[in-house]
Amino acid sequence: MSGSTGTVPAVALALYRKYRPATFSEVVGQEHVTDPLRVALSAGRVNHAYLFSGPRGCGKTSSARILARSLNCVKGPTPDPCGECNSCIGLAPNGTGSVDVVELDAASHGGVEDARDLRDKAFYAPAEAKYRVFIIDEAHMVTTQGFNALLKIVEEPPDHLIFIFATTEPDKVLPTIRSRTHHYPFRLIPPGVMRGLLERNCAAEGVTVEPAVFPLVIRAGGGSARDTQSVMDQLLAGAGPEGVTYERAISLLGVTDAALINDVVDGLAAGDGASVFSTIDRLVEAGHDPRRFASDLLDRLRDLVLLCAVPDAGDRNLVSAPADELATMSAQAERIGPATLTRYAEIVHAGLVEMRGATAPRLLLELLCSRMLLPSVSQSEAALLQRLEQLERRPPATIAQGGDPATPAPPGAPVFTRRSQQPTAAPPVAAAPVAAAPVAAVAAAPVVAAVATPPAPAPVPAAAPVPAPAAVQPPVAQPSAPVVAAAPAAPLVAAEPSTPVTTGGMDAMAVRRIWSELLAAVRSTSRSTEAMLTNAMVSEVDGNVVTIAHTSAPLARRLAEARNTEAIATALATVLGGTWQVRCIHGTPGATSQATTPA
């Protein structure tokens, strides 16, 4: 044992430590912080206290070390340390450190005694550098008493003393301390910038990584550079000769395979419940977590909603996916539609909340899938919009098949001759008076003669014009005229155009009585318009203008579109005859009925 001493292999250095930035120019995704600091260092405007805040792993502590390195460089303060002096070498990412730069972890040294000890050491002059720099990490863990002990020295420090506080929760830092610092908020790193960082690191490591792996790693890292590089480090450690493959990545990270998500989305788009539930069964049999699958499905729905709103979302880096997967998602978004996708996302989001702490997550996953497949069971506006969108996106041939049962029904012709066939039955009605009343014909002749030849009789010039209006007015204004005078009114009305007489005597209550027939006529033109009219009501009829009120403001706006108002006007002309105009407004049925009943 003592004769042969074995050598312990060196532990591989983590990626986030190996490629830690050494200057502000190497810090990625935080230009809003590094650029002002570089300008301040170039101008020599150095403050006595700084506060770096932001999510974990975004570069706060690394930037604090770079700031200390830039201040204590021989050429400093400078935004670009030389990297050759003792201070730059000691404060390098893998350096031994410097006696003039003290880094404290407030999570374990946040008490009042630690603060007093730091305060006593702060008055000593630097040993070899220009400044003594105290980096206090996790500053929100310092107690109130500890902050109070540091308050005086932070407020009026010696010229050689600089404090740098780093924290993930700046609100927990004592306000009197926070107000005496320059506050620089760090942010999460965007996916595009993070991908460039990963590609550079993997190229430096000499490992091949499939392009489809990078979105998985970036999503797992959540925008944190340290977390993302730790995930990639794990994948690189288990990579074989072929490099990091997509299959290996999804198995190690526990991410749902894109093929399973595509199967569920395609099944939902087609309304195929068998495909959806069989995919869930395969998912559970493969050992995947239903909660994780629901989260991944919500991410996919988010991508599809963005592709509906922004067709070039892939080029704008709003959606990160391989080219073939992006083409698949674009086809899915075009096939489903934005209203349906939005309702799916709302259901999945609510299901994720219900899955927290649930003992049967598979059951909840199946229930939320059943809710997505059955929009008719919900009375919400989102469900109604989904049904309307499905009707509008249905091919014309399918809609024609849905309305065909009414077309091939010649034996059922009496059903269609209630009101809608009355205009076509008008010619036989006009023929009946001609053959029915010889007396009416005799009576009609003098009326026509009286109207046509008033100036002919010379002896009675004043009497000729008087009977003419008297003969015309009684049939129209006096329904109580004698039978002989009422008989010619039918031929007169039949001879005139039917439009003004039909529209003149119609009111809102009369249109409501034929509402079912009107819906049937609308159905033959547009099934989506007929569906939107389900909860609508006739508000008023003013001449040939019909006002329709709907309880839902979005549906009222959609009914007001030209194609829908034309479909309703055509149905009114079919059922009642004449020419109509339609207005659609937003209102409640109760208020509408109260407003129209007195009239």
User: In three state form, how does the secondary structure of 277-342 look?
Assistant: HHHHHHHHHCCCCHHHHHHHHHHHHHHHHHHHHCCCCCCCCCCCCCHHHHHHHHHHHHHHCHHHHH
pLDDT band at 588 (very low <50, low <70, confident <90, very high): low
Does residue 355 sit within a domain? yes
Q: What is the rounded distance in angstroms from the CA atom of residue 359 to the CA atom of residue 371?
A: 20
pLDDT band at 167 (very low <50, low <70, confident <90, very high): very high
> In angstroms, rounded to a whole number, what is the distance separating the alpha carbons of residues 26 and 33?
13
Of 185, 210, 232, the one marking the end of a domain is 185
User: Does residue 197 share a domain with residue 180?
Assistant: no
The predicted model gives 495-511 an average pLDDT of 55
Whether 379 and 506 share a structural domain = no
20 and 137 together in one domain:
yes
State yes or no: pLDDT of 266 exceeds 60: yes
pLDDT score at 401: 47
Mean pLDDT in residue range 580-594: 68
Who's near 72: CB < 8 A, 6+ residues apart?
87, 91, 98, 100, 101, 129, 130, 131, 133
Percent of the chain with pLDDT over 70: 75
Which residue in 147, 137, 156 sits closest to 175, CA to CA? 147
| Claim to verify: residue 166 and residue 234 sit in the same structural domain | no
User: Which pLDDT does position 287 carry in this prediction?
Assistant: 83
Check pLDDT > 70 for residue 430. Answer: no
User: Per-residue pLDDT for 238 more than 60?
Assistant: yes
Q: How is 173-204 classified by DSSP, letter by letter?
A: S-HHHHTTSEEEE--PPPHHHHHHHHHHHHHH
Categorize the per-residue pLDDT at 423 as very low, low, confident or very high, splitting at 50, 70 and 90: low
76 and 117 share a domain? yes
CATH of the domain at 295: 1.20.272.10
Q: Last residue of a domain, which of 253, 272, 298?
A: 253
Between CA 196 and CA 529 the distance in angstroms is 51
Arithmetic mean of pLDDT over the chain: 77
Mean of pLDDT values over 224-229: 91
Do 237 and 345 have their domain in common? no
**SS3 readout for 321-334:** CCHHHHHHHHHHHH
| CATH classification of the domain holding 52 | 3.40.50.300
In a domain, 413, yes or no: no
Same domain, 177 and 99: yes
**What are the phi and psi torsion angles at 175 (to 5°)?**
-55, -35
Whether the predicted pLDDT of 335 surpasses 90: no
Question: Same structural domain for residues 147 and 270?
Answer: no
Q: What was the pLDDT predicted at 479? A: 44
Tell me whether residue 482 is in a domain: yes
Higher pLDDT, 449 or 364: 364
If asked whether residues 245 and 330 sit together in one domain, one would say: no
Instruction: Indicate if 366 and 441 belong to the same structural domain.
Output: no
Nearest-angstrom CA–CA distance, 101 and 160: 12
540 inside domain: yes
Q: What are the DSSP calls for 458-487, one per residue?
A: SS-TTTTTTHHHHHHHHHHH-TTS-HHHHT
The answer to whether position 550 is within a domain reads yes
Range of lowest pLDDT (202-216, 262-276, 400-414, 535-549): 400-414
Q: What is the pLDDT of residue 251?
A: 82
Q: Tell whether 99 and 205 lie within a shared domain.
A: no
- Residue 238 in domain: yes
Q: Check whether residue 322 and residue 360 sit in a common domain.
A: yes
In this prediction, residue 381 has a pLDDT band, given cuts at 50, 70 and 90, of: low
Average pLDDT over residues 240-254: 86
Q: Which of 410-419, 503-512, 578-587 has the lowest mean pLDDT?
A: 410-419
On the question of pLDDT at 399 being above 50, the answer is: no
Q: Is 581 helix (H, G, I), strand (E, B) or coil?
A: strand
**Is residue 165 included in any domain, yes or no?**
yes
Give whichever of 263-277, 461-475, 583-597 has the largest mean pLDDT.
263-277
CATH classification of the domain holding 242: 1.10.8.60
Tokens read off for 239: 């990579």
CB 371 within 8 A of CB 347: yes
* Structure confidence by residue, pLDDT tens digits, 12-51: 788 888 889 999 999 999 999 999 999 999 998 989 999 9
pLDDT at 567 over 60: yes
pLDDT mean over 74-100: 86
Percent of the chain at pLDDT exceeding 90: 19
Site of tokens 């988010």: 302
Average pLDDT over residues 469-497: 41
Mean pLDDT of 152-159: 86
Phi, psi at residue 358, to the nearest 5°? -75, 145
CA–CA separation, 306 vs 316, rounded Å? 11
Q: Model confidence at 185, in pLDDT bands (50, 70, 90)? A: very high
pLDDT 10s digits, 300-310: 999 999 998 88
The pLDDT of residue 345 is: 92
Buried b (16+ CB within 10 A) or exposed e, 149-162: bbbebbeebeebbb
CATH number at residue 532: 3.30.300.180
* Domain interval for residue 478: 428-450+461-488
**Structural domain contains residue 241:** yes
**Which pair of structure tokens corresponds to residue 363?**
């059951």
Owner of token pair 């220009």: 130
Last residue of a domain, one of 185, 209, 233: 185
When divided into structural domains, the chain yields a total of: 5
pLDDT exceeds cutoff 70 at 145 = yes
Q: Which of 163-172, 275-284, 523-532 has the lowest mean pLDDT?
A: 523-532
